[in-house]
Each structure stands twice: as structure tokens, then as C-alpha cells.
Amino acid sequence: MKVIGINASPRGRDSNTLRLTNAVLAGAREEGAETELVDLYKLDIGYCNACGTCYATGECTLIDDFAEIFEKMMNADGIVLGAPNYIDSVPAPMKALFDRMADAIHCQMLTGKFGCSVCTAGGSGEHEVAGYMNNVLTTLGATVVGYIGVAIGRDPPALGKAEKDAHEMGKKLSRSIRGEHTYPEQDEIHRQRREYFCQLVKYNKEKFAHEYEWYEQMGWMK
């Protein structure tokens, strides 16, 4: 059982968000997972240029660190996203990572995986940003087990309490991967989304050749 944590703060070891991401990973380890932490700011992930090559071939034309981190995500059973609130959204490197996964969304490539998100903020938006990251995981096909958002500008001790909650969430993540929790409502959302993308891919069969092949290989073509 593998869990990867992706933290997107430029503040390295001083990152508040990193404390939460690490707490989730510690909880996941306590329940038997092997974990890895990736500092997104150490990677070079370019902006998607909307060329559409990934839809056709499954390959990106940009040569940078995306392929490596995406492979790590595909090899993981659980994915933890960590980001501070930057102007009511995620920092640019996290958004760059998301934008590189349009093909993965069409193909619902995180199907069968579990995830969760953590966000720290100075004063506001922590729930919205964590919820946004969870939404991205769901859109990719993963099932989310929860999120932690905490504003610490005027209440620094709140981070300590959030760390404890993050630790519990990590344990839940591992237990979910083991099948100890079920998420029938999310299963239904995934079923509907896959049906929608299946139709999209069928309609664009020529342009989205790789995606058509993927749906056939997965036995999802209807």
C-alpha cells in the first residue's frame, strides 16, 4: 500500500501546510502504508499549452518533471494534496500540475485510488481551497476520504489541533485503501462521470485516439 503526499509551498521545511501533509502521511504509515513526500516547488512543471497531443497519443510534448510525478501518482494507492491558500486558490505549481492532467481526467486515470487534501491559510478560504483540491481528485476518478482546512493567522495553535485531525485522516486513508470504508455516493458520481467522458471520447474518436483505446482496454467503452 503506497501513499504519496504532494506539498505545494515555496517555504520548504518551514511550510505550515507541510506539517499537515506530513501528519496525514504519518497516520497513513501507522496503518501500514509506505509513504513518499514530494515537494512540488523542487520540480519543474511547465504550463499546459493546450496542444491536444496527450488526447491523441497519451504523451505530453513538454519535457520536464511531469512524467515522473504522474508516474508516482499512478503507482500510488493514495494521494495527499497539500497547498496553502494563495488568493483563494492553490499556488501556481499545483495548478500547473492539475492542468497537465486533462487527458488523465478524460480517462479517469485515478479510478480505484483514494485521496484527501490539506490547506492552511492566513485568515480565510482554507475550506474552499482544500475542497477544490479534493474536487480535482474526484474529477480524476479518485475517491476522497476527507479534507483539513485551517486558518492560522490569528490562531496559530489551531495548526496543532489540525495536525491531530490530519493524522486521523491519514489513518482513514489507509483503511479506505484496505476497503474498510465504503463510499457508495462517490461510486455513483464516478460511474456517471465515466459514462459522460466515454461519450465525449467516442464523439471525438479520431482526435482522441489514445483515449478511445484506453476506454476499450479498460473495458469501459459503451
Ligand X SMILES: Cc1cc2nc3c(=O)[nH]c(=O)nc-3n(C[C@H](O)[C@H](O)[C@H](O)COP(=O)(O)O)c2cc1C
CB nearer to ligand X: give 122 or 160: 122
The verdict on 12 binding ligand X (CB under 6 A) reads no
Q: Can you tell me which of 4, 5, 6, 9 binds ligand X, judged by CB under 6 A?
A: 9
Among 22, 35, 85, 174, binds ligand X (CB under 6 A): 85
48: CB partners within 8 A, 6+ apart? 96, 99, 100, 102
Query: Does residue 160 interact with ligand X by CB under 6 A?
Result: no
List 121, 137, 162, 198, residue binding ligand X (CB under 6 A): 121
Q: Which stretch binds ligand X (CB under 6 A): 45-53, 71-79, 82-90, 140-148?
A: 82-90
Closest listed residue to residue 164, CA positions, set 10, 13, 30: 30
Q: Residue 2, Cβ neighbours under 10 Å: how many?
A: 16
Number of residues forming the site for ligand X (CB under 6 A):
18
| Residue from 185, 108, 114 nearest 139 by CA | 108
Contact by Cβ (8 Å): 162, 150: yes
Burial class (CB in 10 A: 0-12, 13-18, 19+), 7: buried
Task: Tell which residue, 174, 204, 216, 180, has the closest CA to residue 35.
Answer: 174
Could you tell me the smallest distance in angstroms from the CB atom of residue 144 to ligand X? Answer: 21
**CB under 6 A: which stretch of 10-18, 40-48, 198-206, 210-218 binds ligand X?**
10-18
Tell me if 42 contacts ligand X by CB under 6 A. Answer: no
Contact between 124 and ligand X by CB under 6 A: the answer reads yes
92 vs 41: CA distance, rounded Å: 10
Under rule CB under 6 A, residue 16 binds ligand X: yes
Mention every residue, 6+ apart, whose C-beta is less than 8 A from residue 172: 27, 116, 145, 146, 181
Nearest-approach distance from CB 143 to ligand X, in angstroms: 26
- Sole binder of ligand X in the list 5, 17, 24, 25 (CB under 6 A): 17
- Site for ligand X, rule CB under 6 A: 9, 11, 15-18, 84-88, 120-125, 152
